[in-house]
Structure 1
Amino acid sequence: MTTTSNNLETQLTELQSIASEEINAADSLEQLESLRVGYLGKKGKVSKILGGMGKLDPSDRPKVGKLANEVKTALETALSQKKEQLQQTAIAARLASETLDVTMPAVVVPQGRRHPLNSTIDRILDIFVGLGYTVATGPEIETDYYNFEALNTPADHPARDMQDTFYLPGDRLLRTHTSSVQIRYMEQQQPPIRVVAPGRVYRRDTVDATHSAVFHQIELLAVDEGLTFTDLKGTIREFVRQIFGDVDIRFRPSYFPFTEPSAEVDVKWKGDWLEVLGCGTVDPNVLEAVGYDSERYTGFAAGFGVERFAMVLHQMDDIRRLYNSDLRFLNQFN
């Protein structure tokens, strides 16, 4: 079959018409790209038609070439416009799916608050850190050695009856105080030291309005050359001033197996004397247990229950309110 300019022109015109319809009918960018390659690619339909120009009379080639360029330009324009249209449609669909209806009621997530126990612990630790103390923590499951023996409380010591606890297999137990943290800390550090140890402790106590088998305690320890009971009193007075304000304070003689002499500390609160903590100078046996020279170093220690402080500061009537997770109660605290 002889190739003539009329044949090629007809093919180009028909191809433009068919391609334009297919481009307009395309409903995705992927389909549109497939049409572009199929018509305008190196092996596309336009290129195949132009392959027959070599058989044309030289005088006919410019006219067919001009028509071919017009067809390519028209198809490129159609492809570009359709591409923009499909992109805009996709963007509009995405915006519609992600639009927030600001007139709808919001899902309200209540603002959290610190638990009164946590806020009391943070407040107390801030005071002691300001006095130069380092915060230390330790395991709640302890050995008999760290909980009793190293604290001058051997197995037959009657003071153990005051701190009866929950025993576990393998000579382990739930710690009765955070004094065990002090022993562990002293084993790793040399004097001078200033350390405060917060944490949860356990005792076999009957639960009532003022007692719990699980409670929180904070203990402090200072060891250095030349520390005396006077240094202890000054530290306690400053702590009480910062936590309770300017209140009367008194020291009463007491007994603890790991301090000698020992004392209970009371503050005048709302007209009555209120016991708030126990303290004393560190017994030399405790210093010797961790390898300190008790002839060279002395120290003092103090400990108290966080729940007692929280109850006094917030005027609570029952310690169990701190553990019941009652939002009506907890929402009172900012």
Structure 2
Amino acid sequence: MQQQVAAAKEAALTAIENASNVTQLEQLKPDVLGKKSPLRQLMRLLKDLSAEERPAAGALINEAVAEVEQRFESRLTLLRDQELERRLALEKVDVTLPPPHRCAGSLHPLTLTLNEIVRIFVSMGYEVATGPDIETEYHNFDALNILPDHPARDMHDTFFLAPGVILRTHTSPVQIRYMKSHRPPIAIIAPGRVYRVDDVDATHSPVFHQVEGLLVDKHVSFAHLKGTLTEFLHAMFGRDLATRFRPSYFPFTEPSAEVDVQCFICRGKSSECRICKGTGWIEVLGSGMVHPNVLENVGLNPREVSGFAFGLGVERFAMLRYGIPNIRCFYENDIRFLSQFRARV
């Protein structure tokens, strides 16, 4: 066994020394240190030895493997240093060359989209309100009529930081905090990051951006909601596009509606449109009249005031606006992608 170990070790060390560059050495690694290398294969012979011989033989093999590993790493470091020295010797710097051109910065497409959304609503008289990303379950769920035993809780996969403390799943908690500290009339939008346990794919991310809106005053009706959102969508996508409201369900609004805008690519004339999937419509918003329970939770009398709320995803609007097929593009910091958006800082 001792002679076999010595022979296998010597062969491995010789092969390592004969490698003349990093590529050759890295290709050699499986042959000298891999599971099927001669040294590793000797481990299989231990079962044929007596119980007294086995520990010493095993230690001998391990020492040989350790020596080969050390020689491999030192040789790899040496070859890398030699290659770097050769490359540096060949490279020359022309000190007379002018410095590289400084490219002008540009805003991120999400920032551009969010700024446009905010601009439109501010022009309609809304104020911008913000709130913490780390929220209590009360503000994120309970105050919004999503009680602990409510089935709507299953719609949210939530990041829990501590008992009763979470990363907010929507920006609706901002509305609760604002209504508790302000009296009607209230007209706000709440932009910000939100967090949900979600697998990353072409249209989903565990971190994304929302803008939610709220208007509370006397005699607010669904007609006001329709007028506001229709005006917003026309300003965002063009006044020649139709909009429609479909009945839906949200625990914090009643009645509730999904809002669609006519496909601005095919105008409903193509069954193969990749944007609307041939339906002619694109879902862009969720909305509804503020639920009476939500108003009561913030100390308002639903018999005296009413309101509407809505929410939209900034990433979705940016993808529609710029024809971006994959949400991952927003977070990869690829300058080739980002440089296409030329609005300057």
Q: TM-score, normalised by structure 1?
A: 0.68
For the aligned residue pairs, the C-alpha RMSD in angstroms reads: 1.0
Question: Which residue pairs with 1:182 in the alignment?
Answer: 175
Query: 1:115 corresponds to which letter in structure 2?
Result: H
Structure showing greater radius of gyration is: 1
Output the CA distance in 2 between the equivalents of 1:217 and 1:125. Answer: 11
**1:206 alignment counterpart:** 199
Matches within 5 A, 1:24-39: none
Structure 2 counterpart of 1:319, from 327, 331, 337: 327
Q: Which residue in 2 is equivalent to 1:225?
A: 218
Shift of 1:164: 1.4
Deviation at 1:107, TM superposition (A): 4.5
Partner of 1:294: 302
Deviation at 1:104, TM superposition (A): 5.6
Provide the secondary structure at the position in 1 that maps to 2:119.
helix
Q: Structure 2: how far apart are the matches of 1:216 and 1:171?
A: 23
Stretches of 4+ aligned residues off by more than 4 angstroms? none
**1:278 and 1:296 mapped to 2: Cα distance?**
25
**Equivalent residue number for residue 248 of structure 1:** 242
Give secondary structure in 2 for the equivalent of 1:222: strand
Q: Matched residue of 2:175: which SS?
A: helix
Give the one of 169, 193, 196 matched to 2:189. Answer: 196
Indicate the SS of the match to 1:264: strand
Matched residue SS, 1:253? strand
Match of 1:333 in 2: 341
Q: Which structure 2 residues correspond to residues 1-334 of structure 1 after superposition, within 5 A?
A: 105-246=98-239, 247-269=241-263, 270=265, 271=268, 272-334=280-342
What is the one-letter code of the residue matched to 1:319? I
Query: 2:117, 2:256 → 1: CA distance?
Result: 22
Structure 2 gaps of 5+ residues are 1-95, 269-279
Shift of 1:163: 1.4
For residue 230 of structure 1, give the secondary structure of its aligned residue in structure 2: helix
| CA deviation profile, 1:174-221 (whole Å, cap 9, x unmatched) | 000000000011111000010000000011122110111110000000
Q: CA deviation at 1:165?
A: 1.2
Q: CA deviation at 1:330?
A: 0.6
Match of 1:19 in 2: none
Which string of whole-angstrom CA distances, capped at 9 and with x for unpartnered residues, describes residues 48-102 of structure 1?
xxxxxxxxxxxxxxxxxxxxxxxxxxxxxxxxxxxxxxxxxxxxxxxxxxxxxxx
Mapped partners of 1:205, 1:243: distance in 2: 28
Cα deviations across residues 254-299 of structure 1 (Å, max 9, x unaligned)? 0000000000001111232100000000000000000011110000
For 1:140 and 1:108, the matched residues in 2 are separated by 39
Q: Percent identity?
A: 59
Whole-Å separation in 2 of the counterparts to 1:171 and 1:160: 14
| Residue-by-residue CA offset, 1:150-185 (whole Å, 9 max, x unaligned) | 000011111111111100114100000000000011
Task: Choose 191-200 or 202-211, whichever is displaced more.
Answer: 202-211
Q: What whole-Å deviation, never above 9, does each CA across 1:114-141 have from its counterpart, x for those lacking one?
A: 0000010000000000000000000000
Q: Cα deviations across residues 299-325 of structure 1 (Å, max 9, x unaligned)?
A: 000001000000000001101101111
Report the residue type matching 2:216 in the other structure.
V
Give secondary structure in 2 for the equivalent of 1:281.
Answer: strand
State the Cα distance separating 1:142 from its structure 2 match.
0.3
